[in-house]
Amino acid sequence: MNHDQARYSREAEAIHEPLLSEKSESTVDVDESSPLPSDLTREELTLPSPSEPEVTRHYTRLSQMNWSIDSGPYPLGSCTMKYNPKFIEDVAADPNGAVHPDRSPRSIQGTLELQYRLQRFLAEIGGMDAVTLQPPAGAAGEFTGILIAKAYHDHHGNDRSEVIIPASAHGTNFATAAMAGYDVVELPANENGRVDVEALEAAVSDDTAALMLTNPNTVGLFERDISEIADIVHDAGGLLYYDGANLNALLGRARPGDMGFDVMHYNVHKTFATPHGGGGPGAGPVGVTEELSAFLPAPCVREVNGGDIGYEPFEPERSIGKVHGFTGNWLVLIKTYAYIARLGDEGLADASAKAVLNANYLAERIDLDVPYGPFHHEFAATSGDRDAADVAKRMLDFGVHPPTTKWPQMVPEAMLTEPTEIENRSSLDDLADAFNAAYGDTDEALESAPNRTTAKRIDQAAAARNPRLSWQALDDEKTE
């Protein structure tokens, strides 16, 4: 083996990180005096037995194999991956925030006051009249919002069976409407990538419960006909639902409530820098106009005039009930409040301005064709006759995380990209260089990529349908 072969061999070995049980094991005897039934005990147990340096290096290597927003740009289109400022982690870690949620209102006045203030912050940002903090994630907030719309129609005796959803909408929109018991009416886009108003006029009817929409839409375009769209839906007796996925483009500049939306959810991880991904915990507050406020899930928090307490939880008059324990995921909500309070009105407006600027700058810097435009916070490029997934996997070899691919389908071989406001010009240039290098590479390089990552190309469909959820499953597979 020559010098280069030896070096690459060591690199390959360093990339592969064995399980701790593969490094070293020891067998220990189990205490036979256990009070557990005999069929739940064992005579001996084999456990990993690494030294402290081995454990430290093991988990450090694993962390280095992961890509995160702390590692570099994470330009997932329509799934805003903001950097989480460390100060919000410090605020949430304050021991004074460790309040048991089942304590009496009198003993948690600080907690309730913060929740009340956050409700007002979010209501003001969204142009809503009332907010619930209870839903534990964006999708849960979306489902809650549609349940509120359903309760509103049921209360008024409106027999509504359909929800209209644009073809470019998030997949959760279709799932949410179906889970709530509605039939989905898919709405096509016009030649400019926006809602086809004529198609909407033809789609609405006495069966229309709501139109679910995000603005700007999934390809970063502002729905310029939003006032007309709102009038069409409202004239048919329906409600206008705002998917908060793209609210980051509007912060401090435009409000869904002012556009005619009746109900919305906030993805605090996408808009206010709380952690995103990993299965939670999350938070997906929901805002509504005054006429829907009575249907919010319980409890909400209100200010008390007089008496010996200033704030109390309460149940709205026609509440749809609880959708999560207590008043929501408290520590995530602390982070949301801290982010909004630190930035203030000017900071939030500055964030949205830079998000829009960065998206348009990056769209101009890449060699791929970018239909539509000008954009807000994101854009959908097309890789044309090259497979978008191949280009994305090759981008991994250039040290950046690729964008969302193959969606929305209104752009062929789509590469949906959102750099957010956090990246500087140098970072955007690096990302553009990776786009261009991967897109201009050979077919052979694209088809074999990625080559410089811990995990190589996998069967994504098989991995999604047959996930290995534990190392035991992988170990069992090896022994079969």
CB 109 within 8 A of CB 300: no
The encoded tokens of residue 319 equal 């509440």
- H or E element, residue 62: helix 52-65
Burial class (CB in 10 A: 0-12, 13-18, 19+), 169: buried
Pick the CATH number of 86-342 from 3.50.50.60, 3.40.50.20, 3.40.1190.20, 3.40.640.10: 3.40.640.10
Distances from the Cα of 158 to the Cαs of 182, 212, 214, 449, in angstroms? Answer: 13, 18, 25, 54
Collapsing DSSP states into helix, strand and coil, what is residue 48? strand
3-state secondary structure of 397: coil
Question: How many Cβ atoms from other residues are within 10 Å of residue 305's Cβ?
Answer: 6
212 close to 164: Cβ distance less than 8 angstroms: yes
Exposed/middle/buried for residue 5 (C-beta within 10 Å: 0-12, 13-18, 19+): exposed
Cα 421 to Cα 354: distance, rounded to the nearest angstrom: 5
Instruction: Report which residue type is found at 318.
Output: R
pTM reported for the whole predicted model: 0.89
Fold: same for 86-342 and 344-457: no
Q: Which amino acid is at 274?
A: T
pLDDT in tens, the chain (480 residues): 444 444 334 444 456 788 888 888 888 777 777 788 888 888 888 888 888 999 999 999 888 888 888 888 899 998 888 899 999 999 999 998 888 878 999 999 999 999 999 999 999 999 999 999 999 999 999 999 999 999 999 999 999 999 999 988 988 999 999 999 999 999 999 999 999 999 999 999 999 999 999 999 999 999 999 999 999 999 999 999 999 999 999 999 999 999 999 999 999 999 999 987 665 678 999 999 999 999 999 999 999 987 789 999 999 999 999 999 888 899 999 999 999 999 999 999 999 999 999 999 999 999 999 999 889 999 999 999 999 999 999 999 998 999 999 999 899 999 999 999 999 999 999 999 999 999 999 999 999 999 988 888 888 888 889 888 776 776 676 666
**Can you spell out the DSSP letters for 153-215?**
HHHTT----EEEEETTS-HHHHHHHHHTTPEEEEE-B-TTSSB-HHHHHHH--TTEEEEEE-S
**Taking the mean position of all CA atoms in its chain, how far away is CA 371?**
25
User: So what's the pLDDT on residue 41?
Assistant: 83
- Minimal CA–CA distance to 244: which of 222, 215, 219, 224? 215
Count the Cβ atoms, other than its own, within 10 Å of residue 196.
18
| Length of the chain, in residues | 480
Q: Check residue 10 and give its pLDDT.
A: 41
In 351-411 the beta strands, taken as DSSP E runs, fall at: 379-382, 404-405
Give me the pLDDT at residue 278, please: 63
Q: Could you tell me if 193 and 220 are in contact, meaning their C-beta atoms sit under 8 angstroms apart?
A: no
Q: Which of 230, 187, 231, 338 has the alpha carbon at shortest distance from 275?
A: 338
- DSSP codes joined into one string, 199-243: HHHHH--TTEEEEEE-SS-TTS---TTHHHHHHHHHHTT-EEEEE
472: buried, middle or exposed (CB in 10 Å: 19+, 13-18, 0-12)? exposed
SS (H, E, C) 86-144: HHHHHHHCCHHHCCCCCCCHHHCHHHHHHHHHHHHHHHHHHCCCEEECCCCCHHHHHHH
Residue spans per domain, the chain: 86-342, 344-457
Note whether 423 and 431 are within 8 A (CB): yes
Q: Which residues pair with 259 in a beta bridge?
A: none
CATH 3.90.1150.10 fits 344-457, yes or no: yes
